[in-house]
Amino acid sequence: MTDFIAQGNLPDEYADLAKGVRDFAQRVVAPVSAQHDKDHTFPYEVVSGMAEMGLFGIPFPEEFGGMGGDYFALCLALEELAKVDQSVAITLEAGVGLGAMPIYRFGSQEQKEQWLPMLASGEALGGFGLTEAGAGSDASGTRTTAKEDGDEWVINGSKQFITNSGTDITKLVTVTAVTGESQTADGRVKKEISTIIVPTNTPGFTAEPAYDKVGWNASDTHPLSFSDVRVPKANLLGERGRGYANFLRILDEGRIAIAALAVGAAQGCVDESVKYAKERQAFGHAIGEYQAIQFKIARMEARAHTARSAYYNAAALMLAGKPFKKAASIAKMIASEAAMDNARDATQIHGGYGFMNEYVVSRHYRDSKILEIGEGTTEVQLMLIARELSL
């Protein structure tokens, strides 16, 4: 896969997928994006179209209803969607990477057979409840508990910022919870963190009112509460006490996907700026004839190109079974910063129109900031990179 870093050298199956998603994004997503963003509505018709294309099943085996593809193919789809609408792209990324992938990676055969076909088909969405008011990167801050009572887990607590957690087609949320405690040799209390599948129709589970966000307005995001939520002990996902460790693996993979999404946003800003610079006239010339604009767009293209190479490299390492944690963090950091920088420059190039919400670049300006925060902040990526350097 290393030759994928050379632009324009994708094998036919990947190139065909990217083209198909690109056409879908222009034909189906673009016409409705501004309205869904304005109304803060979830784009069910778009999600249905993605499901029909098999996008939610890209990296899963056919035995579970998937397309038999790989993670890099998913990343290509995310990049194409994000050029047009980041809300749609994050719905796919979270549905696959956070909703379905933990079950595929760590679930029992029975759990896979029960949940993966509906998630891979796009018939249903799943979420992952990790973050709390005082816990995200810091597992020790987890307050949600799951206590054994006969053959059931009884869950109490809350989560926040959970994507795909309150739609009409959300069927499950996998949550991290404290399932026990132990004392270390130096007297400290160590929490045992496990992950448990919670069907959304379980009594006591509540998706609270959706957030009023700066961006990603068509993406579904809720705080969650759990009040004596009872699920079978068989809903434990993976080994007891390994919940947080397992999710760190999911985050490593997810950072490559977020990088791909961010590259799409960065490239979308380039594409819109090139088009606008050729059309907009000032002082008798298209503004694209002025070197100041040319150089700004050239820097934008360089950022997108560099970030794409970074996520291609991380994906290649992952699929080759080689260590990829550092490469994933580098890709996520570079790509998210490229998206934010390009959105700022694209808005400047568009002038007053860039400040109008109906323009794609204005949505990228609002949407891109979260890319430097979600699934590990820029500061967390720097910490991980330094740690991989033995610092």
Residues belonging to the active site = 375
Secondary structure letter of residue 209 according to DSSP: P
Helices (H), 25-125: 30-39, 44-53, 71-84, 86-93, 101-106, 109-121
Query: Could you give the 3-state DSSP secondary structure of residue 237?
Result: strand
How many of the other CB atoms lie within 10 Å of CB of 118? Answer: 19
Written as six digits, the tokens of 348 are: 């400047």
Q: Which residues pair with 129 in a beta bridge?
A: 175
Write out the H or E segment, with its range, that includes residue 64. none
Return the closest-CA partner of residue 271 out of 238, 297, 309: 297
* Widest CA span in the chain: 79
Written as six digits, the tokens of 124 are: 């249903």
The upper half-sphere exposure of residue 188, i.e. CA atoms within 13 Å in the direction of its Cβ, equals 5
Unique residue bearing structure tokens 């069910």? 44
Across 365-389, b (16+ Cβ under 10 Å) vs e yields bbbbbbbbebbbbbebbeebbeeee
CA distance 198 to 305: 41
